[in-house]
């Protein structure tokens, strides 16, 4: 996951609507079923999906009243904490 990408997607959600990102995730998930995709291509799609889910999670925290910067930092700390385990 990349914080700048999540931050950009979070801003996109604020400017537009979360439904756009949800529908994009669904489309990308459907693409992963294409049997001719290479592992590298699946990795890129997976990274995009992860970043989009991250932005949705950050947006949820913002809606609950967490300041944007704090929500981004909290989310990334959670991600890094789960990797360290």
Every domain of the chain and the residues it spans: 3-80
* b/e map 43-52, b = 16+ CB within 10 Å: eebeeebbbb
**CA-CA distance, 80 to 85, in Å (whole number)?**
9
pLDDT tens per residue, range 15-54 = 999 999 999 999 999 999 999 999 999 999 999 999 999 9
Q: How confident is the model at residue 85 (pLDDT cuts 50, 70, 90)?
A: low
């Amino acid at each position: 996951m990349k914080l700048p990408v999540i931050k950009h997607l979070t801003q996109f959600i604020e400017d537009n609507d979360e439904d756009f990102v949800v529908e994009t995730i669904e489309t990308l998930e459907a693409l992963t079923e294409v049997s001719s995709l290479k592992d590298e291509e699946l990795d890129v799609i997976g990274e995009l999906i992860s970043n989009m889910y991250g932005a949705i999670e950050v947006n949820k925290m913002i809606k609950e009243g967490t300041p944007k910067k704090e929500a981004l930092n909290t989310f990334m700390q959670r991600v890094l904490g789960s990797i360290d385990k």
